[in-house]
Structure 1
C-alpha cells in the first residue's frame, strides 16, 4: 500500500512575502494581526511611491496630457499595449479613454469626451497569428505598422522596461511619427535608452505589484488632465474625435 507524498515545502518566495503563514503552530489572533500589519505596510508603500512619482514627474505628466489633448483635437487615435498584467492595464487605458464618464470635480458634473482608443492586446486571433507566424516580438509593432499614422499616440506599459515587443513597437511608432508615451518600473530598462519614447514615466520600485499600482494612478491622471485640457480646447461634452 503506497503512502501519500508529504506536502511540498512552501516556496521560499511565497514564505518571504507571508512569513506569518509559515511561523509554526497557528495562532489565529496573531495571524490576523500580522495580516493587518502587512496590509497597512503595503498601503503605506504605495501611497509613498505615488507621492514620489508625483513630486518628480507631476509637471511632466501635466505637460504630456496637454500634448495628448492637442493630438486628440487634431484627430489622433491612441493605441495601448503591454504584456501580462500590463496587457490588462493596456485594455483599461483604452476603456478609460474611450468610455464617456464624468470628471471627479466634486459637483457631479464634468461630462468627459469619449476618445478613440484601442488596446493592441485584445484581438487574440491577431496576437496568436503574429506570434506563431512571425514572432512574439512583433505583435504590437506589426499592428502599429498596419493601423498607426503620424500624429497618433502609442502608449506602452511594462514593469521592467525591457520587453522586446514594446521596444519594437516604440521603434515602429517613432518611424511613423507617432506620439509615444511609456510607463515602466525599476530604472526604466531599455525603454529609457531607446530615444523613441517622447514621455517616459518610471516608477522607481523593484516590486511588480507596487509598480503596476502606481502606473494605474499615472494613466488615470493622464486621462483626467487630458480631459481638462480638451475642455480648454473648447470641446463640448460628448464630442467624438473618432
Structure 2
C-alpha cells in the first residue's frame, strides 16, 4: 500500500483547519498571556489525554524555554502534572473534579486558565472553567469539533473547526508554540 495519498490528505486537512482559526482570537490569547506575565500572575493549564500532554509541554516551553532568558519568570502551572493528586481526587471524589479541587483556594485575582478540550465538553475542564469565571478570572479555551461548552464559556475562544481529534490536538500544540515563539521574540529571544 502506498500511504502517500493519505499523508497528503492529512496535511491538507490540517492546513485547512488551521487556516480557519480566527487570527483576532489568537492575538487576544497572546495579549492575555503577555498581560499575565507583566502582572506576575499564574497561568494555569489543563486538558485530558493528548491535551494533558500538550498542557505539560507548553509549561516546559514557557517555564524553562523562555524564562531561562528572563529575569522575571513565567509562572505556568499544569493541573495535569501531579499524578498522585489527580488520582487521589479521582478515586476519593470524582474524575470530574480533578482540576477544580486543585484550583480551589489557590487561584488569585488576575490568574488565567488555558483550558484545552478537543470536544469542548470535557466535564473536568468545564468545572475548572466555571470556577475561574466565577472568580472573575480570564479563561482561554482551545477546542475542536463544534467547540462545545468550552467555546461558549471562554473569554477568549480559539476554536479549530475540524471534526478530527488528532488534527484538533495538532493545531492546539501549534497554537501554543506560536504563542511561545511570538512572545519570546517580543522579549528579545528568538529561540525558546
Distance change >3 Å, CA 122–CA 81, structure 1 → 2: same
Q: Which of 158-167 and 39-48 deviates more?
A: 39-48
Whether 2:134 is the aligned partner of 1:175: answer yes
The root-mean-square deviation of aligned C-alpha atoms, in Å, is: 2.0
Q: Pick the aligned partner of 1:210 from 167, 170, 177.
A: 167
Quick check: 1:66–1:225 contact (8 Å CA) kept in 2?
no
Quick check: 1:79–1:153 contact (8 Å CA) kept in 2?
yes
Whether 2:103 is the aligned partner of 1:138: answer no
Q: Pick the aligned partner of 2:176 from 219, 227, 233.
A: 219
Quick check: 1:62–1:225 contact (8 Å CA) kept in 2?
no
Runs of 4+ in 1 over 4 A off after TM superposition: 111-114
CA distances 1:119-164 after superposition (whole Å, capped 9, x unpaired): 1111111101111111111110111113211101111111100111
- Separation in structure 1 between the aligned mates of residue 156 and residue 28 of structure 2, nearest angstrom: 9
Q: Pick the aligned partner of 1:98 from 59, 63, 70.
A: 63
Q: Pick the aligned partner of 2:13 from 39, 45, 48.
A: 45
Whether 2:74 is the aligned partner of 1:115: answer yes
Q: Pick the aligned partner of 2:106 from 147, 158, 174.
A: 147
- Separation in structure 1 between the aligned mates of residue 40 and residue 73 of structure 2, nearest angstrom: 13
**Residue aligned with 1:156, SS:** strand
- Separation in structure 1 between the aligned mates of residue 33 and residue 155 of structure 2, nearest angstrom: 11
Q: Which has the larger radius of gyration?
A: 1
- Separation in structure 2 between the aligned mates of residue 204 and residue 151 of structure 1, nearest angstrom: 29
- Separation in structure 2 between the aligned mates of residue 71 and residue 125 of structure 1, nearest angstrom: 28
Quick check: 2:118–2:169 contact (8 Å CA) kept in 1?
yes
Q: Normalized against structure 1, the TM-score is what?
A: 0.72
State how 1:7-46 maps to structure 2 within 5 Å: 31=1, 34-46=2-14
- What is the number of residues matched between the two proteins? 187
Q: Which of 164-173 and 57-66 deviates more?
A: 57-66
Q: Normalized against structure 2, the TM-score is what?
A: 0.89
What stretches of structure 1 of length at least 5 have no aligned partner? 1-30, 103-110, 238-242
**Residue aligned with 1:221, SS:** helix
- Separation in structure 2 between the aligned mates of residue 165 and residue 45 of structure 1, nearest angstrom: 29
Q: Pick the aligned partner of 2:40 from 75, 80, 86.
A: 75
Distance change >3 Å, CA 68–CA 101, structure 1 → 2: closer
